[in-house]
Amino acid sequence: MSNYIPTIGIEVHCELKTKTKIFSDSINGYGQMANSLTNVIDLGYPGTLPTLNKEVINLAIKAALILNCKIRPVMHFDRKNYFYPDNPKNYQITQAETPIGYDGYVEIEVDGKTKKIGIEEIHIEEDTCKSTHRGTKTLLDFNRAGVPLIEIVTKPCMESGEEAKLYLEKLKELLFYSDVSDCKMEEGSMRADANVSIRKQKSEPFRTKAEIKNIGSISNVKLSIEKEIKRQEEIYDKGESFPPQTRRFDDKLNDTVLMRVKETGNDYRYFPEPDIPYVHITQEQIEQVRKTISMLPDERRKTYQKLGISEVNAKKLVQNRALSDYLNELLEEKIDFKTAANLLLGDISAYLNKMETEITKTSLTKEKFIELTNDISNETLTSKNLKEILTTIMESEKSISEIIKEAGIQNITDNTAITEMIQKILKENQDSVVDYKNGKDRAIKYLMGQVMKESKGSLNPKMAMAILKEELNK
Amino acid sequence: MKDKLTKEEVLHVAHLARIKVDEEEIEKYQVELKQLLNDVDKIKEVEGYDEERMIAPWQKDTILREDEPGEMLNPKEVLKNAPKHSGNYIEVPIVISESEGA
Residues A49-78 have pLDDT tens digits of 999 999 999 999 999 999 999 999 999 999
Same domain, A253 and A111: yes
Q: What is the pLDDT of residue A380?
A: 80
Q: Pick the residue from chain A with its C-alpha nearest to B102.
A: A127
Per the structure, the complete domain to which residue A254 belongs is given by 5-285
Residues A425, A450: Cα–Cα separation, whole Å: 7
Which tens digit of pLDDT belongs to each residue from A376-414?
Answer: 988 888 888 888 889 999 999 998 888 888 877 655 556
Higher pLDDT, A431 or A418: A431
Same domain, A95 and A181: yes
A290 within some domain: no
The answer to whether the CB atoms of B68 and A137 lie below 8 A apart is no
Instruction: Assign A437 to helix, strand or coil.
Output: helix
Q: What backbone phi and psi angles, to 5 degrees, belong to A135?
A: 60, -115
A399 within some domain: yes
How many domains are there within chain A?
3
Domain boundary among A260, A285, A310: A285
**CB contact at 8 A, B11 and B21:** yes
Residues B36, B41: Cα–Cα separation, whole Å: 9
Domain boundary among A258, A285, A312: A285
* Shortest alpha-carbon distance between residue B58 and chain A (Å): 8
Alpha-helix residue ranges (DSSP H) falling in chain B: 7-16, 23-44, 75-80
Domain boundaries, chain B: 7-44
Same domain, A18 and A132: yes
Q: Pick the residue from chain A with its C-alpha nearest to B80.
A: A35
Q: What is the CATH number of domain B7-44?
A: 1.10.20
Domain boundary among A266, A285, A304: A285
* Shortest alpha-carbon distance between residue A396 and chain B (Å): 37
Distances (CA, A) of A103 to A70, A95, A179: 6, 16, 22
Same domain, A320 and A398: yes
Q: What is the pLDDT of residue B101?
A: 41
Q: What is the pLDDT of residue B57?
A: 66
Of the candidates A39, A55, A269, the beta carbon closest to that of B67 is on: A55
Q: Pick the residue from chain A with its C-alpha nearest to B74.
A: A36
Q: How far apart are the first and last CA of chain B?
A: 38
Instruction: Average the pLDDT over A416-432 and give the result.
Output: 84
Instruction: Indicate whether A20 pLDDT > 80.
Output: yes
Same domain, A84 and A139: yes
Instruction: Indicate whether A84 pLDDT > 50.
Output: yes
Residues A244, A211: Cα–Cα separation, whole Å: 8
B92 interfacial to chain A (CB closer than 8 Å): yes
Give exposure, A56-69, as e/b (b: 16+ Cβ within 10 Å): bbbbbbbbbbbbeb
A428 within some domain: yes
B91 interfacial to chain A (CB closer than 8 Å): yes
Residues A348, A346: Cα–Cα separation, whole Å: 6
**CB contact at 8 A, A355 and A390:** no
Of the candidates B60, B89, B101, the beta carbon closest to that of A84 is on: B101
A166 within some domain: yes
